[in-house]
């Protein structure tokens, strides 16, 4: 039986894979040009006051570094793929396919597998969530990405500007990328504003003044688009929802759909993405809590789980209890890509 994912490497596979880098190349080109326009044209050739020039350059490079670091991390962090224990064995899959016209029989086949796994989400029809392409049972919050060609843990969306899925493994990096990109644009716009005004007054000499003019425009344009996206993702972090869940709330076993199912308190929601330690909240390093497979749910949803999970009361919370983060034999492999499917990721 063919290994899921391998069949997609046709003649156009590498061509398509290369084309997907064009939006990233576009962003990198803009950033490199903005560096030249700001550092050379604005700071070195236009700003006359030395103190102001030095201060502009120092803060600029801090924001520039944080922006590049978070962008790099968002692009090159491996997406969290589904571990082997969620794979549907060949004989079970064949039995499933032999009951195409019988939903009840098909679902009971998958339910037997799901009972051994930490799964609480079900389909809108009440069936077990599974992916026919990857032949896996889907962990909670996981979805199949048609661009990456694999099921992705806590999938938020596929972003062409990073040529990667925004998912459990890089969601913190993505939010920081938006934050630092916004800061970068705002800083450029604010510090170049007076020179932008001088341009229209005719006080800026030389051809470099057009770089400053466009630098201001580009910073404002990107800044405005980033602001709305950043605010939206701040809202999603606080609500503990993914973009996909904002459109279609998760359906919990024995409970039904609940858009607040993963909401465990605003600060706890924030810590689930950014971690416990405030010293690393603003650094694009991996500090997200959990293993990408199991998520604490609101206390009223605990009965929705298949198997009895350990729970502990949140000492600082408001009546919300957590499911214990599981540390089992599979955890070591969870955040690494499933190398059988490596060619399907970026």
Query: Applying CB under 5 A, which residues contact Zn ion?
Result: 131, 133-134, 144-145, 147-148, 151, 158, 165
Least distance CB 296 / Zn ion (angstroms) = 25
| For Zn ion, the closer CB: 66 or 137 | 137
Least distance CB 264 / Zn ion (angstroms) = 27
Per-residue burial over 116-138, b if 16 or more Cβ lie within 10 Å, else e, is ebbbbbbeeeebbbbbeebbbbb
| For Zn ion, the closer CB: 131 or 179 | 131
| For Zn ion, the closer CB: 146 or 308 | 146
Q: What are phi and psi of 301, to 5 degrees?
A: -100, 0
Least distance CB 254 / Zn ion (angstroms) = 25
- Cβ 174 vs Cβ 226: under 8 Å: no
Q: Which helix (H) or strand (E) holds 7?
A: none
Q: Using CB atoms within 10 A of its CB, is residue 78 exposed (0-12), middle (13-18) or buried (19+)?
A: middle
Name 73's Cβ contacts closer than 8 Å, sequence gap at least 6: 170, 173, 177, 284, 285
Least distance CB 7 / Zn ion (angstroms) = 13
| Alpha-carbon dihedral angle through residues 85, 88, 92, 96, given to the nearest 10 degrees | 150
Q: Which two tokens stand for residue 16?
A: 């398509």
**C-alpha torsion sign, points 26, 27, 33, 36:** negative
Cite the active site residues: 159
Least distance CB 151 / Zn ion (angstroms) = 3
């Amino acid at each position: 039986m063919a290994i899921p994912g391998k069949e997609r490497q046709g003649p156009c596979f590498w061509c398509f894979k290369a084309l997907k880098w064009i939006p990233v190349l576009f962003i990198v080109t803009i950033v490199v040009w903005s560096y030249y326009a700001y550092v050379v044209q604005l700071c070195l050739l236009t700003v006359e006051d030395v103190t102001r020039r030095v201060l502009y350059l120092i803060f600029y490079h801090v924001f520039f570094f944080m922006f590049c670091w978070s962008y790099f991390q968002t692009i090159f962090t491996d997406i969290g793929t589904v571990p082997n224990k969620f794979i549907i064995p060949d004989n079970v899959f064949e039995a499933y396919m032999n009951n195409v016209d019988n939903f009840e029989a098909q679902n009971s086949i998958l339910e037997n597998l799901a009972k051994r796994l930490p799964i609480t989400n079900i389909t809108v029809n009440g069936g077990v969530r599974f992916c026919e392409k990857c032949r896996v049972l889907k962990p909670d919050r996981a979805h199949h990405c048609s661009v990456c060609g694999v099921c992705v843990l806590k999938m938020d969306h596929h972003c062409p500007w990073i040529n990667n899925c925004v998912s459990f493994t890089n969601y913190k990096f993505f939010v920081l990328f938006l934050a630092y990109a916004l800061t970068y644009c705002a800083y450029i716009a604010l510090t170049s504003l007076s020179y932008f005004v001088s341009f229209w007054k005719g006080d800026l000499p030389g051809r470099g003044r057009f770089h400053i003019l466009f630098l201001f425009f580009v910073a404002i344009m990107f800044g405005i688009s980033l602001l709305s996206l950043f605010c939206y993702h701040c809202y999603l972090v606080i609500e503990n929802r993914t973009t996909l869940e904002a459109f279609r709330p998760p359906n919990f076993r024995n409970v039904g759909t609940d858009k607040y199912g993963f909401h465990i308190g605003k600060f706890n929601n924030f810590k689930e993405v950014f971690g416990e330690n405030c010293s690393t909240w603003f650094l694009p390093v991996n500090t997200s809590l959990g293993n990408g497979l199991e998520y604490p749910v609101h206390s009223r949803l605990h009965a929705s789980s298949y198997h009895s999970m350990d729970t502990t009361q949140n000492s600082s919370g408001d009546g919300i209890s957590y499911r214990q983060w599981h540390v089992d034999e599979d955890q070591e492999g969870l955040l690494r890509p499933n190398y059988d499917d490596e060619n399907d990721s970026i």
